[in-house]
């Protein structure tokens, strides 16, 4: 089948509402390759939305939880489950939780044991890892069904975020520039009322907007971040602010601004994410944060 015919078929599917059919076929073909091509898998995530039924598998592959060789998946996940069970059992032995303890807190304790950061006098309220980590796990509870997958995806995402802390200032600067370009009047209002610097962008970037935007919509953004592009996070904020500009420009209270953002309805969030992805793609879908090359 020639390129023109493939393109025609893709356009036809999109026009009649069956774009996902084409995407599902594409991801199925990629996942059947032996070994799976990581570059192609990343490119798929950057171009399309990962179908829900394949999301856990795709994220596990991209985050290095399982290898690209399919025949190794069963063995590797058995080892992951064994480590998960050992951590859970250790936590049970030291009696750090009960039946009322939220799962995100249980997983936090397990991760602290795994990384040797758990102490008997630890204060989670003052722990710099706790807030971002639990926000990530709490969001994944909406997306990932299996607890073992959920735990490993959560810790790998947090590890990925932690390794790129030096990129956060660049993302914040990019966000400010995009707001100014998108809506100069709104930008001036935010600056003049000391709202722009008060928006907790670092906190939001450190959890990929978990707990900030609607759970049902956010997975499409995480497809891109797991695929390798953090810059899409910078495109979210200008679209959020311009969508809420009439409410924002009626207040000088930063808490009111944040509350408005956290209470955006699902259909509006869906529209915001669509527009953010379009803007990001219009700017070339750049990969501003990449895995650092290994040194010999």
Residue 204 CB-density burial (10 A; 0-12 exposed, 13-18 middle, 19+ buried): buried
pTM score of the predicted model: 0.87
Q: What is the C-alpha separation between 52 and 204, in angstroms, rounded?
A: 24
Distance set, CA 244 to CA 65, 66, 133, 202, 296 (Å) = 38, 41, 28, 20, 49
Residues of the chain with CATH 1.10.8.680: 72-163
CATH of domain 165-282: 1.10.472.80
How confident is the model at residue 285, as a pLDDT?
Answer: 62
Q: Sign of torsion, CA 164 203 258 210?
A: positive
Residue with tokens 């032995």: 93
> If you ran DSSP here, which 8-state letter would residue 125 be given?
G
Contact 199, 257 (CB under 8 A): yes
Write the pLDDT tens digit of every residue in 145-185.
Answer: 999 999 999 999 999 999 989 999 999 999 999 999 999 99
Q: What is the C-alpha separation between 159 and 284, in angstroms, rounded?
A: 27
How confident is the model at residue 121, as a pLDDT?
Answer: 65
Q: How confident is the model at residue 97 (pLDDT cuts 50, 70, 90)?
A: confident
Q: How confident is the model at residue 118 (pLDDT cuts 50, 70, 90)?
A: confident
pLDDT > 90 in the chain, percent: 73
DSSP for 81-110, written as a single string = HHHHHHHHHHHHHTT---TTS-HHHHHHHH
> If you ran DSSP here, which 8-state letter would residue 294 be given?
P
Residues of the chain with CATH 1.10.10.750: 10-62
Topology (CATH) of 10-62: Arc Repressor Mutant, subunit A (1.10.10)
Q: What is the C-alpha separation between 157 and 293, in angstroms, rounded?
A: 19
Average pLDDT rounded to a whole number, residues 255-282: 94
Topology (CATH) of 72-163: Helicase, Ruva Protein; domain 3 (1.10.8)
Residues of the chain with CATH 1.10.472.80: 165-282
Write the pLDDT tens digit of every residue in 272-296.
Answer: 999 999 999 888 665 433 444 343 3
Average pLDDT rounded to a whole number, residues 127-156: 93
């Amino acid at each position: 089948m020639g390129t023109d015919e493939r393109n025609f078929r893709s356009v036809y599917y999109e026009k009649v509402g069956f774009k996902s059919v084409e995407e599902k076929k594409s991801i199925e073909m990629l996942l059947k390759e032996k070994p799976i091509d990581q570059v192609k898998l990343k490119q798929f995530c950057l171009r399309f939305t990962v179908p829900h039924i394949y999301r856990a598998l795709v994220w596990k592959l991209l985050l290095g939880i399982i290898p690209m060789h399919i025949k190794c998946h069963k063995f590797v996940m058995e080892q992951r489950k064994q480590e998960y069970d050992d951590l859970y059992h250790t936590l049970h032995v030291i009696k750090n939780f009960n039946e009322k303890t939220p799962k995100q807190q249980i997983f936090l304790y397990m991760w602290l044991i795994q990384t040797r950061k758990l102490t008997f006098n630890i204060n989670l309220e003052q722990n710099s890892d706790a807030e971002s980590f639990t926000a990530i796990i709490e969001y994944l509870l909406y997306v990932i069904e299996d607890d073992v997958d959920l735990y490993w995806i959560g810790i790998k995402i947090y590890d990925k975020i932690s390794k790129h802390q030096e990129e956060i200032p660049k993302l914040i600067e990019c966000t400010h520039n995009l707001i100014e370009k998108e809506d100069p009047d709104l930008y001036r209002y935010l600056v003049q009322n000391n709202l722009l610097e008060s928006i907790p962008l670092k906190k939001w970037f450190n959890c990929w907007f978990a707990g900030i935007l609607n759970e049902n919509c956010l997975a499409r953004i995480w497809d891109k971040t797991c695929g390798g592009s953090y810059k899409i996070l910078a495109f979210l904020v200008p679209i959020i602010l311009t969508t809420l500009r009439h409410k924002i420009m009626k207040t000088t209270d930063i808490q009111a601004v944040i509350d408005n953002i956290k209470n955006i309805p699902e259909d509006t969030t869906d529209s915001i994410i669509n527009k953010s992805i379009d803007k990001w793609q219009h700017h070339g879908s750049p990969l501003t944060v990449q895995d650092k090359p290994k040194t010999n």
